[in-house]
Structure 1
Amino acid sequence: MFINHIEGKVVETTPASVVLESGGVGYYIKIPVSTYEQLKKDRIRLLISMIFKNEVIELYGFYTEEERNYFESLLKVRGIGGETALRILSSMNFYEFKEVVDRGDVDSLAEVRGIGRKRAEKIVFELKGLFKEEIIPNEALSALISLGFTRKEAKRILLNVVKSVPQGDLEMLIKEALKNT
């Protein structure tokens, strides 16, 4: 990875891309739907993943580190390129994807346009075990524990609400968790 992030003025957007101007240069960056939903500001900072393909550099931008890690884990699967990884990322959030892989839910992955059953099986096979860590953010878990919940209670509560909250919105996740106690 040569470029970690780009911060700049939003010049142009589509649901699949953004042009960010930084230092007088306009960067064309492909993005997932979840990042597009965060582009309501004039200036934004995107975490970048670069792919070199056929002597062309492609930039992929993400609003959160989790999204970028999710994207890059998909790229490790042979035969999955940036466009396909972005399609998967746009069809299910990070937490849903981790759960699908952990459960071996090939059918859910196969529903993504351009994936099919064989590719879905390959993704599950190659990534199973990679996501052993919890599907809930540590910050949310720590916040509930500091409010007096046991670790077990906090995990149970967060697992019940994590899928209904936009990825990366820690404040909303904690509020929803507290509503559901």
Structure 2
Amino acid sequence: MIGKLKGVVDSIGDDFVLIDVNGVCYEAHCSSRTLQSLPQNGEVTTLFIEMIVREDMIRLYGFASEAEKSWFKLLMSVQGVGARVALGILSTLSASDVSSAIALQDKAMIGRAPGVGPKLAQRIVSELKGKVPALGAVDPGVVGLQTALGEGLASGNVADAVSALVNLGYAQSNASGAVARVVAKEGEDTPTEKLIRLGLRELSS
């Protein structure tokens, strides 16, 4: 099995990259985020690889980080999520954003990805509730939110506050981290408006 590739970028396609490893080119299918993070042709890069072997094919999937690879595997454990849909989610959301969406049970956020309808989005957040890659690479804001709320299931006011901060232009991971710190100080029953106000104060400090 291939777990990691280190080589020279030969060429980049719409959804894949060719990595030249000592004269042998490996084709790895990637999320758009990973493709955008790659260096120019002729430069050295490293990809974490998930190798899928079936009767009619062997395919490599490449990731810029172990966190992204781990989320790919977790997403594919959900019925109805294949490699294409999992890559679509990771193209739309960063690994930390996926962590936030699962922690907040935010099916709308997962539903932004191509090929993910409302029912599938609900299944993803429900089945992956409480599951995060065992890497220590999960965003600290998400970990703080999960700790503050006990089980990682955000109440409506907390989810609304995080959503409001995201709509104001803050990254999901930063917004959830700020709200987590407020909840830890003020309690889970803090009104949404106050969470937003204090969350903004946290983000500006």
Question: Does TM, normalized by the shorter one, top 0.5?
Answer: yes
What stretches of structure 2 of length at least 5 have no aligned partner? 142-169, 175-202
Work out the percentage of aligned pairs sharing the same amino acid: 28
In 2, Cα distance between the equivalents of 1:128 and 1:107? 15
The alignment partner of 2:37 has SS state of coil
Confirm whether residue 28 of structure 1 aligns to residue 32 of structure 2. Answer: no
- Specify the alignment match of 1:77 in structure 2: 78
* Structure 1 pair 40–50 and aligned structure 2 pair: CA distance change class (3 A): same
The alignment's C-alpha RMSD in Å is 2.4
Residue 107 of structure 1, CA deviation: 1.6
Contact in 2 for aligned 1:6/1:48 (Cα 8 Å): yes
Structure 1 length-normalised TM: 0.71
Contact in 2 for aligned 1:71/1:85 (Cα 8 Å): yes
- Specify the alignment match of 2:96 in structure 1: 95
Confirm whether residue 121 of structure 1 aligns to residue 122 of structure 2. Answer: yes
Residue 25 of structure 1, CA deviation: 1.3
1:136 to 134, 140, 153: 140
- Specify the alignment match of 1:48 in structure 2: 49
- Specify the alignment match of 1:60 in structure 2: 61
Structure 2 length-normalised TM: 0.63
What stretches of structure 1 of length at least 5 have no aligned partner? 138-159, 165-178
Contact in 2 for aligned 1:45/1:63 (Cα 8 Å): yes
- Specify the alignment match of 2:159 in structure 1: none
Residue 180 of structure 1, CA deviation: 5.8
Report the more deviating stretch, 118-127 or 105-114: 105-114
Contact in 1 for aligned 2:31/2:88 (Cα 8 Å): yes
Q: List per-residue Cα deviations over 1:90-134 (Å, max 9, x = no partner).
A: 001111111111111112222221110111111111100103975
Residue 161 of structure 1, CA deviation: 7.0
Contact in 2 for aligned 1:32/1:86 (Cα 8 Å): yes
- In the TM superposition, 1:2-17 aligns within 5 A as 2-17=1-16
Of structures 1 and 2, the larger Rg is shown by 2
- Structure 1 consecutive aligned stretches of length 4 or more whose deviation exceeds 3 Å: 160-164
The alignment partner of 1:37 has SS state of helix
In 2, Cα distance between the equivalents of 1:30 and 1:99? 25
In 1, Cα distance between the equivalents of 2:14 and 2:68? 16
